[in-house]
Amino acid sequence: MTLNMLGVLGISLVLTVAFYYQLALGELPCPLCLLQRAGFIAIGMGFLFNLRIGERGSHYAMILIASLVTGFISIRQVALHLAPGDPGYGTTLLGLHFYTWALIAAVGIVCYVALAFVLKDVTGSRDWDPPLNGPASNAVFAIFALLVAANLLSTVLECGAGQCDDNPVHYLLLR
Q: Of 110, 87, 79, 89, whose CA–CA distance to 33 is shortest?
A: 89
User: Cα–Cα distance between 19 and 108 in angstroms, integer?
Assistant: 22
The distance of Cα 135 from the centroid of its chain, to the nearest Å, equals 24
**pTM score, whole prediction:** 0.89
pLDDT digits (tens, 9 = 90+) for 3-53: 888 999 999 999 999 999 998 988 888 889 999 999 999 999 999 999 888
* C-beta separation of 58 from 45 below 8 A: no
Question: Helix or strand or coil: residue 120?
Answer: helix
pLDDT digits (tens, 9 = 90+) for 71-116: 999 999 999 888 888 887 878 889 889 999 999 999 999 999 998 8
Contacts of 103 (CB under 8 A, 6+ apart): 71, 74, 75, 78
Q: Of 145, 153, 173, 146, whose CA–CA distance to 34 is shortest?
A: 153
CATH code of the domain occupying 2-174: 1.20.1550
